[in-house]
């Protein structure tokens, strides 16, 4: 079952400047930085609130580290902005993805990959989700 909005992914050109905007403007301070080589991004998870399932909701600010990454391609076409949404699941993300695939939605990866903070992730194709790139997250 999907139990929370895990994060909203926001693509940016300058990670530090964008984090500073969210800190200065809204007062979000709980920031976790990491690099995900496989996804081709540097990122910051800014915690917004805890959720009823014992997890939390975040903004995921992402800056591409490679020109051939999905986020670099998206930024070149669209400029900065909301790139994807991510739902948290309370079970194995592979099982969640398999059930959704059974409803005719394309799942992007054959097996889960590594996401932020030790999570396991997969993505649903935006063209099968009314234009929204949708991520599934199983927290660590
Ligand atoms: N949201 C909505 N639509 C999107 C989109 C997005 N983020 N990215 C692409 N699209 C749309 C495009 O607008 C395009 O539509 P049209 O054909 O109508 O113009 C179509 O999808 C194909 O787009 P594209 O630019 O040709 O890009 P690709 O098909 O090469 O890649 C996708 C699209 C979704 C397969 C790719 O971005 C992907 O694999 N994403 C998953 C990985 C990812 O995004 N990682 C970064 C985040 C990491 C994290 O969250 O941890
Ligand atoms: Co994400």
Q: What is the pLDDT of residues 21-34, one digit of tens each?
A: 999 999 999 999 99
pLDDT value of position 60:
98
Q: What does the DSSP 8-state code read for residue 140?
A: -
Cα of 50 vs centre of ligand 2, distance in Å, is: 17
Structure tokens at 45: 């998870």
124: phi then psi, degrees, rounded to nearest 5: -110, 140
Q: How many domains does the chain have?
A: 1
Ligand 1 within 6 A of CB of 83? yes
CATH number for the domain that contains residue 119: 3.10.180.10
Sign of the alpha-carbon dihedral angle for 68, 76, 136, 40: positive
Domain that holds residue 130: 2-138
Annotated catalytic residue, options 63, 83, 84, 96: 84
What ligand has the least distance to the C-alpha of 109?
A: 1
Q: Say what the ipTM of the complex is.
A: 0.99
Strands 56-64 and 134-138, bridge-based pairing: unpaired
Ligand 1 within 6 A of CB of 108? yes
Annotated catalytic residue, options 39, 83, 96, 135: 135
Per-residue pLDDT tens digits for 71-94:
999 999 999 999 999 999 999 999
pLDDT value of position 120:
98
């Amino acid at each position: 079952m999907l139990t929370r909005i895990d994060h909203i992914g926001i693509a940016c050109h300058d990670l530090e400047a964008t984090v500073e905007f969210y800190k200065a403007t809204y007062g979000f301070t709980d920031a976790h930085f990491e690099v995900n080589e496989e996804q081709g991004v540097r990122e910051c998870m800014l915690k917004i609130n805890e959720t009823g399932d014992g997890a939390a909701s975040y903004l995921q600010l992402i800056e591409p580290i490679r020109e051939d990454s999905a986020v670099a391609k998206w930024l070149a076409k669209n400029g900065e902005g909301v790139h994807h949404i991510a739902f948290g699941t309370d079970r194995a993300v592979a099982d969640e993805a398999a059930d959704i695939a059974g409803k005719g939605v394309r799942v992007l990866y054959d097996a889960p990959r590594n996401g932020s903070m030790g999570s396991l992730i997969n993505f649903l194709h935006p063209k099968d989700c009314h234009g929204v790139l949708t991520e599934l997250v199983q927290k660590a």
